[in-house]
């Protein structure tokens, strides 16, 4: 999403009297009957279906994917994949709900584009409740808050991921060999605490976030995509070999650990924030529903396959990120560094969203002379906050589960069904649709409460053995 679009979508722009595109044709209440009924600005420069599919895949593949094998351990070798499949179907359904409601309000108010927050505000304005209509603006603000928390939470995860992987690579440097077939215990060289690695990374991350031009970031993002794709290919070819007998793995793990699975899984599936911006950038937005279902099918297959194969390959020894289980030979050390490079660049992309929500209103309060300095200082402060939070919670598995339970569950599962009810209730909804929406929203809310509680309990409880990157590993 461009900076111009982000800054122009102010709260006051969403009045029911707004009429933007001229000559919007009549269409169905849940969609548009003609191609010209939902066109974006500058359609000739929009993205093709292939580019949109790539962006959708990139928006859903990251550190959450690498943490899914441990999530399956927390659920069980049978219950885990089945739960991932169900959550994938529900998450994609909720994305479809969001797109349908956005289309409804685009047609109703003849607007070119409605974002997630705008759809929530319009939805509350459509409810029979006078109190909700009066306070509809809080729907937009609540979505904005959770978007900020989610994106900054991703940034916290990236700090922990980078520190753990760099620490392991450096610790095993003296024992790293060219032979990846060796089966021996590698002694780790003592090195500094992972939290010091986070502090060491802080200046470089700050400099990266000073890049505010999306075109420049897109170049680095392309390099990150290539690095992460190559790393995934190498990871797959390793874990499919020498899979031990899985008969000793539990079909279903203890229920106490299932909430941790929920947090990690919903963290991985939380790509709903990119759905509407991607559709708005397309040359032909009518192709987007097909792209959404095809892309998320690929993502779900990728999630289930890597999580199952990773857990089968490493069993009870699986770590918070599957990269930490790779052998200490130069090939797989390079994989860890390549994926770390990809995540490092992705930090700037994820940081862009909360920065564009928080910083412009604050910069507007100072004179133009000091605007650039305030901008940079705010970026330093926001990056510093994510680094401090990562230092306070230096366990990758727990911080992923916590971020997923706290914020991702709200955006991906709780809000969309409630939005559908708010949007269409006054126009008449089938009782089964209302029941379905309530069940999905309650499922997300229970996951939010229980997942957050269990993550905090796990974080507070003293552990005799904490999984971290410097443990000696048998390869």
Residue-wise pLDDT tens digits, 418-458: 999 999 998 888 999 999 999 999 999 999 999 999 888 88
The secondary structure of 18-82 as a DSSP string is ---STTPPP--TTS-SSGGGG--TTGGGSBPHHHHHHHHHHHH-SHHHHHHHHHHHHH-TTHHHH
Instruction: Characterise 120 by phi-psi region: left (phi > 0), alpha (psi -120 to 50), beta (else).
Output: alpha
High-pLDDT (> 70) share of the chain, %: 84
Residue 188's pLDDT is what?
60
- Average pLDDT of the chain is 81
Residue 187's pLDDT is what?
56
Residue 94's pLDDT is what?
94
Q: Is the pLDDT of residue 474 over 50?
A: no
Model pLDDT for residues 116-148, shown as the tens digit of each residue:
999 999 999 999 889 999 999 999 999 999 989
Handedness of CA 366, 144, 110, 274 (dihedral sign): positive
Q: Is the pLDDT of residue 9 over 70?
A: no
Judged by DSSP in three states, 179 sits in: coil
Q: What is the pTM of this model?
A: 0.80
Q: Is the pLDDT of residue 107 over 90?
A: no
- Say which residue, 74 or 188, is predicted with more confidence: 74
Average pLDDT score over residue span 385-408:
89
The least confident of 45-54, 83-92, 307-316 is: 45-54
- Say which residue, 289 or 34, is predicted with more confidence: 289
d(CA 372, CA 366): 10
**Binning pLDDT at 50, 70 and 90, where does residue 1 land?**
very low
Q: Is the pLDDT of residue 35 over 60?
A: no
**Binning pLDDT at 50, 70 and 90, where does residue 255 land?**
confident
Model pLDDT for residues 351-370, shown as the tens digit of each residue:
887 888 888 888 888 888 88
The least confident of 78-82, 166-170, 458-462 is: 458-462
d(CA 294, CA 401): 27
Average pLDDT score over residue span 259-278:
86
Q: Is the pLDDT of residue 333 over 50?
A: yes
Residue 289's pLDDT is what?
87
Residue 20's pLDDT is what?
34
**Binning pLDDT at 50, 70 and 90, where does residue 475 land?**
very low
Residue 225's pLDDT is what?
82
Average pLDDT score over residue span 401-421:
92
Non-local (6+) Cβ contacts of 80 within 8 A are 71, 72, 73, 74, 253, 261, 307, 308, 311
Residue 186's pLDDT is what?
55
Residue 179's pLDDT is what?
64
d(CA 78, CA 249): 9
**Binning pLDDT at 50, 70 and 90, where does residue 44 land?**
low
Two tokens, residue 165: 């992987």
Cβ proximity of 44 and 263 under 8 Å: no
Residue 472's pLDDT is what?
37
């Amino acid at each position: 999403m461009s900076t111009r679009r982000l800054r122009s979508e102010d709260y006051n722009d969403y009045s029911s009297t707004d009429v933007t595109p001229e000559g919007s044709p009549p269409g169905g209440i849940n969609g548009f009957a003609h191609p010209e009924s939902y066109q974006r600005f500058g359609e000739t420069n929009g993205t093709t279906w292939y580019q949109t599919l790539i962006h959708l895949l990139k928006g859903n593949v990251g550190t959450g994917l690498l943490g899914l094998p441990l999530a399956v351990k927390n659920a069980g070798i049978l219950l885990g994949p089945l739960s991932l499949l169900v959550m994938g179907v529900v998450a994609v359904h909720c994305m479809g709900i969001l797109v349908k409601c956005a289309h409804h309000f685009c047609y109703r108010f003849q607007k070119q584009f409605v974002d997630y927050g705008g759809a929530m505000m319009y939805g509350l304005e459509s409810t029979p409740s006078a109190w909700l209509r009066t306070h509809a603006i809080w729907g937009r603000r609540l979505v904005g808050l959770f978007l900020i928390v989610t994106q900054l939470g991703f940034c916290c995860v990236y700090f922990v991921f980078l520190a753990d992987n760099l620490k392991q690579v450096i610790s095993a440097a003296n024992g790293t060999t060219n032979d990846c077939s060796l089966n021996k215990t590698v002694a780790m060289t003592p090195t500094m605490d992972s939290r010091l690695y986070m502090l060491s990374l802080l200046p470089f991350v700050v400099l990266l976030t000073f890049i505010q031009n999306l075109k420049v970031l897109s170049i680095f993002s392309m390099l990150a995509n290539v690095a992460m794709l190559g790393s995934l290919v190498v990871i797959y070819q390793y874990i499919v070999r020498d899979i031990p007998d899985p008969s000793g793995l539990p079909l279903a793990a203890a229920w106490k650990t299932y909430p941790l699975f929920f947090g990690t899984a919903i963290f991985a599936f939380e790509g709903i924030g990119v759905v509407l911006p991607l559709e708005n950038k397309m040359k032909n937005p009518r192709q987007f529903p097909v792209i959404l279902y095809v892309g998320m099918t690929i993502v779900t297959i990728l999630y289930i396959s890597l999580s199952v194969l990773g857990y089968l390959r490493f069993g009870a020894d699986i770590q918070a990120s599957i990269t930490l289980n790779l052998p200490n030979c130069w090939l797989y050390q390079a994989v860890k560094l390549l994926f770390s490079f990809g995540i490092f660049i992705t930090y700037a992309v994820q940081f862009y969203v909360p920065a564009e929500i928080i910083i412009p209103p604050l910069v507007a309060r100072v004179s133009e002379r000091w605007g650039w300095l305030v901008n940079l200082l705010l970026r330093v402060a926001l990056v510093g906050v994510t680094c401090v939070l990562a230092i306070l919670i230096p366990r990758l598995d727990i911080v992923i589960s916590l971020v997923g339970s706290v914020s991702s569950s709200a955006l991906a599962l709780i809000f969309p069904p409630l939005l559908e009810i708010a949007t269409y209730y006054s126009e008449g909804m089938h009782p089964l649709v209302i029941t379905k929406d309530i069940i999905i929203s309650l499922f997300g809310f229970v996951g939010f409460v229980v997942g957050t509680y269990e993550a905090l309990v796990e974080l507070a409880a003293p552990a005799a053995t904490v999984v971290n990157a410097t443990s000696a590993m048998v390869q």
